[in-house]
Amino acid sequence: MPQLRRSATLVLTFCALAAPLRAEIAVTDLLGRQVTLSEPADRIVLGEGRHLTVLGLLHEDPVALVAGWRLDKALDEPTQQAYRARFPAMDAIRPVGSGNRDLSAESVIALQPDLLVLSLMDRGDPGMDRARDQIESAGIPVVYVDFFAHPLENSIPSLKILGALTGAQDKADEFAEFYDTHLSRITERLADPSIQRPRVFLHAHASPQGCCPTVGSGVFDDFITTAGGTNIAAEVVPGVQGTVSLEYLIGADPDVYLATGGTHMAGRGGLVLGSGVDAEQARASFKTLLAAPGLSSLPAVEQGRASGIWHLFNDTPAHIALIEHLALSFHPELFADLDPEATLAQIDRQFLPVSVPGTWWVRAGE
């Protein structure tokens, strides 16, 4: 099971810059870098557009804080529409990069933000490092967070970092307490070493053709392991993601077949789930997927031990509801009292300014 650490250090210091005393905000980010602001950031550039919804966990109007964003890893279209309907000012957010690892230092500097938020996945890329150096040389602080690479380890520290830097530390603490309460209910019950963990294969971006993209360490491996399963592809896939053959999958004979999908899979005839997707569409796409040659003959599929989940749970602290769904799927008797739908509803009601309807998971036979 991933080690649950709170690795980020949040420090509030006070200094006499002028009378009266003014608070200085200092945090240590996910790369161990010290980031200091003289006051809470209210003009931010996001390295990932979909982190707008992470700010939404902290602020009633996250759009008002965002001056620019990189279009790579943008919000999915139904979520964009829902936020735009509530916050028309979203159309004023300026793009600062389009493709993978593409960030325009000139565009960021021109916006004169008081903070640039980058992802742990951006580290080590020469182009991104050059852009960051130029941006910091212009006096703009840069902070690294992570809701993707190691979500169990880094999501809550990252949320607390953003909470501290944007003046929403109390809200970050509130969500952290909510998250930890739900997570500990799962981890405490799974602490018994005698519990049998099902062997799980995750089919990422699942479609009937081109099987089978999957995951190794981090991300969904963290979710599967924390929920009481064993990700069998972790043994053969080095790093975060990779591809195995259909023959490998058939020979591996997993106890559980788990597929991820989203609205981006509609054009490829794959699993359609997520924002703006109704239950009928999700079930129909999952049924088509499971009928594909090779997949249909898996004992896990034949015996109904197959589920589909929304792929974009991979970059939001709302993944706690997914972990509940997986725990309930892997160990139905042990977690019969879990209600992941209610957990998502509470996140919507208690934390998010915009509720986006959709279908987030589907099971074989439903």
- The CA-atom distances, in angstroms, between 24 and each of 15, 88, 143, 167 are 7, 32, 16, 11
- Tell me the average pLDDT across 21-45: 92
> What is the number of other CB atoms lying within 10 angstroms of the CB of residue 352?
16
Percent of the chain at pLDDT > 90 equals 85
Within a domain: 24: yes
Residue 66: its H or E element: strand 66-69
The yes-or-no verdict on residue 9 having pLDDT over 60 is no
Shared domain check, 159 and 35: yes
pLDDT in tens, 308-333: 999 999 999 999 999 999 999 999 99
Within a domain: 106: yes
- Tell me the average pLDDT across 304-309: 97
CA-nearest of 133, 116, 115, 182 to 320 is 182
Within a domain: 1: no
* Distance, CA of 225 to chain centre: 16
pLDDT at residue 22, rounded to an integer:
55
Helix, strand, coil in percent for the chain, rounding step 5: 40, 20, 40
Within a domain: 22: yes
The yes-or-no verdict on residue 23 having pLDDT over 90 is no
Q: Predicted confidence band at 17 (pLDDT cuts at 50, 70, 90)?
A: very low
pLDDT in tens, 123-135: 988 999 999 999 9
Cα distance between residue 109 and residue 112, in whole Å? 5
Within a domain: 191: no
Within a domain: 151: yes
Six-digit token pair at 210? 């081109």
Q: In CATH, what number is assigned to the domain containing residue 266?
A: 3.40.50.1980
Q: Predicted confidence band at 280 (pLDDT cuts at 50, 70, 90)?
A: very high
CA-nearest of 326, 342, 123 to 220 is 326
Report which of residues 51 and 97 the model is more confident about: 51
Residue 243: its H or E element: strand 241-243
pLDDT in tens, 150-205: 999 999 999 999 999 999 999 999 999 999 999 999 999 999 999 999 999 999 99
Shared domain check, 209 and 179: no
Indicate the residue among 186, 217, 235 that finishes a domain. 186
Within a domain: 2: no
pTM exceeds cut of 0.75:
yes
pLDDT at residue 239, rounded to an integer:
84
Q: Predicted confidence band at 4 (pLDDT cuts at 50, 70, 90)?
A: very low
Side by side, the strands of the sheet bearing 9-15 are 9-15, 22-28, 34-37
**Tally of domains within the chain:** 2
Cα distance between residue 292 and residue 50, in whole Å? 32
Six-digit token pair at 193? 């070493």
Indicate the residue type of 37: L
Domain ranges, residue 35: 9-186
The yes-or-no verdict on residue 20 having pLDDT over 80 is no
* Backbone phi and psi for residue 242, each to the nearest 5 degrees, phi listed first: -170, -170
Cα distance between residue 29 and residue 118, in whole Å? 10
Shared domain check, 175 and 74: yes
- Tell me the average pLDDT across 71-88: 92
CA-nearest of 30, 31, 2, 3 to 234 is 2
Q: Predicted confidence band at 72 (pLDDT cuts at 50, 70, 90)?
A: confident
- Tell me the average pLDDT across 262-279: 94
Shared domain check, 254 and 150: no
Report which of residues 125 and 106 the model is more confident about: 106
The yes-or-no verdict on residue 99 having pLDDT over 70 is no
Indicate the residue among 167, 186, 205 that finishes a domain. 186
Shared domain check, 207 and 161: no
Question: Among 21-35, 74-88, 225-239, whose mean pLDDT is lowest?
Answer: 21-35
Average pLDDT, the chain: 92
CB 272 within 8 A of CB 224: no
Q: What angle do CA 338, 341, 344 make, to 5 degrees?
A: 110
